[in-house]
Amino acid sequence: MEKKVIAIMRKLVKMAREEVAAKAEAAIPNDPRNTAHAIRSTVYKAVLGGNLNLLRSRRANAPGPIPPVRHKLATATNRKGNHRGGNRMPRGRDTTRMLGYVGFDRIFILRWLDGGTPRRDTNGIRRVGQIGARPWFESAGTQAFNNAAQNLETLIDELIQQELKEA
């Protein structure tokens, strides 16, 4: 029974994430990198519940903000290797993926759009390009979880009815 309830929770949290992503797409009219689909979701096992957030993954193997320096290694003909100038190794597929806005790397864009950025002054020069806050995440997340809670009541009642009929 517990596994069935957790499966229902996963389904509802996924639906809530899709609903919030749809609202993010509406809030971001020009989104070439599909940042709206980077919203993270979590379903708890010990306590029945879930979570949607705009936080970056903190895995040990998560891509870092600074790209690694890649050099050609020393060979038999070139004992020193090529560490200078334009003689760097071509960028690999993983490095290109790491430097692009894919997966959880796109979340920082959503945080900027949700909270905005302050206007900055640098050496007396005013910078243009301030991002105005469009606070959509809290209202969209609250509404999505309210809808999920209503659906949860219905689905758990149906599950209990099924279990009673089988017993």
> 46-78: per-residue pLDDT in tens?
777 888 888 766 665 665 555 555 555 556 565
When pLDDT is averaged across residues 147-165 and rounded to a whole number, the result is: 89
Note the pTM of the prediction, 2 decimals.
0.64
In this predicted structure, what is the pLDDT of residue 51?
87
In this predicted structure, what is the pLDDT of residue 16?
92
Where exactly are the structural domains of the chain?
A: 2-166
Q: What are the b/e assignments for 126-160, b being 16+ CB within 10 Å?
A: eeeeeeeeeebbeebbeebbeebeeebeebbeeee
Q: Are 28 and 132 in contact (CB under 8 A)?
A: no
**CB-count exposure of residue 42 (10 Å: 0-12, 13-18, 19+):** exposed
Q: How far apart are CA 52 and CA 38, in angstroms?
A: 11
* C-alpha gyration radius of the chain: 23
Q: In sequence order, which residues have a C-beta less than 8 Å from that of residue 146 and are 6 or more positions away?
A: none
